[in-house]
A and B are shown apart, each in its own frame.
Chain A
């Protein structure tokens, strides 16, 4: 996603240049009102597709945790999505898109901290003269679309910390992440801040801005929280805890895959010309190709390395492929997109066991998928987009990483000191469903993970 106001300015320039001669070649073939309508439609369709990714995350996580923690995982997912909606409204949106009104910095010298204030939509029943930006899209559609990205970032965190984190500290962290941490770093790129203006950083739909950010926050939390009881023993043994429902995890992955067309396709931010709608189409096709590449790479690699195909890693492979293509889904060919996604899959197969060796317990593989593949995807922009520079990609990856990891660590440590972030050992063994919620996900079925 390019920064919003730059796109708007370019659109305005195109409009002014066109003047009375609306029959010229190019974007001006479409009347400006239609451009506004079509762009808005893209945001609304893209936005509700990305909203459905919240369902995908919920199902993926519900399937990969043990049955005694499924109701809690569903609770966290619907609550975090709703908290993100409030945090982004109250603080996040204007912090992320200050439109030049930086609290610290300027558009020219580099913006560091955006504006403070609640999000405000256009009035009811506006005419063309009242639109905030006639050459772009309605503010309501832009807000809606951007909110969904913010919520997706928070969803990434919940999976990694599943099965042992207390509900309320997690939700407090979610509010801080979605209202402050995510919007500040996102403003540096998409709000036209210093990563955009000073480094020429390219991150189309957010391999770094969304996915790595979720991954860094999850990594900080997973380290402070510690592994689930019984996952690692003192002699270096690893004890897998298979998930409750692989069909649910597969459904969740397919839903995320579908939602990603809105995530990447909508990030073209324009559909009001032949060029834009053709680009959106390219993005859809490349996004799909990358996911497929990720799955195929994992299926082959796990067969060769472990003697059997690992479904849960194949699901991670699809998502790693998608994360890998997210920083640049437009310029690659279908073949390049497939290969970029396949590398994401390879990263999953090698880094899931690596995290286990380090005794960092990531229940659903969120850190390999979103952080490691996110870094790869951000660097992969260099392969197909000649506007990208190595340092222009690498330095922002490091800056965003340090910022999010350090701030998240501080927040987790404060929460841990003030209220404790981990449930008691007894509650963990009984399962969070009964101990924290007093209800079970499957009260009428077999006992699942609670049997021998």
Chain B
């Protein structure tokens, strides 16, 4: 089992969710986050004074999948979330030691 963490542009969420549903992904978690990457924020002007937006709003997706799905899921996220412009986000893959479905007590791959 792997945990896929994907940071994407907020407006891409629905597109990504639809594409992942098409792959048979059974669930995902979304949270609103702020952060910076190589883009290092950007500048805006408020009442004539320039200021730096150090942390840009993004969405963080967290998806746990079986090992054999990892490549397909990461490829799909990358393809649908891509605009080609700076700030498209990043994807990380981590190992998952255990999973447990609270309602039934099923464990690991049965719980995904």
> Measuring CB to CB, which residues of chain A are less than 8 angstroms from any residue of chain B?
238-240, 242, 305-308, 310, 312-313, 349, 352-353, 356, 365, 452
Contacts and interface: CB of A to CB of B under 8 A. Distances in A.
B55 interface: yes
B46 A240 contact: yes
Interface in B55-101: 55
A238 B49 contact: yes
Contacts of A352: 47-48
Nearest to B51: A240
- The list of the 4 closest CB pairs from A to B, nearest first, reads A240-B46, A353-B48, A238-B49, A306-B45
B42 interface: no
Contacts of B51: 238-240
Interface of B: 34, 45-51, 55
B34 A306 contact: no
Contacts of B46: 240, 242, 310, 312
A452 B55 contact: yes
Nearest to B34: A452
Nearest to B32: A446
A452 B50 CA distance: 19
A306 B48 contact: yes
A356 B34 CA distance: 28
Given A239-B51, A240-B51, A452-B55, A310 B34 contact: no
A312 B45 CA distance: 11
Given A452-B34, A452-B55, A310 B49 contact: no
A313 B45 contact: no
Most chain B CB within a 10 A radius of its CB, from A238, A305, A313, A349: A238
Given A452-B34, A452-B55, A356 B49 contact: yes
A44 B27 CA distance: 64
B47 A310 contact: yes
A240 B55 contact: no
Contact of B47 (A307, A313, A452): A313
Contacts of A312: 46-47
Most chain A CB within a 10 A radius of its CB, from B48, B50, B51: B48
B26 to A, nearest CB: 30
A280 to B, nearest CB: 35
15 contacts: A238-B49, A239-B49, A242-B46, A306-B45, A306-B48, A307-B45, A308-B45, A310-B46, A310-B47, A312-B46, A313-B47, A313-B48, A356-B48, A365-B47, A452-B55
Given A240-B46, A242-B46, 13 more contacts: A238-B50, A238-B51, A239-B49, A240-B49, A305-B48, A308-B45, A310-B45, A310-B46, A310-B48, A353-B47, A353-B49, A356-B47, A452-B55
Contacts of B50: 238
A341 B34 CA distance: 41
Nearest to A362: B47
A307 B46 CA distance: 11
Nearest to B55: A452
Contacts of A365: 47
A452 B35 CA distance: 10
A266 B96 CA distance: 74
Nearest to A316: B47
A391 to B, nearest CB: 34
B38 to A, nearest CB: 19
Contacts of A310: 45-48
A57 to B, nearest CB: 18
B42 to A, nearest CB: 13
Nearest to B35: A452
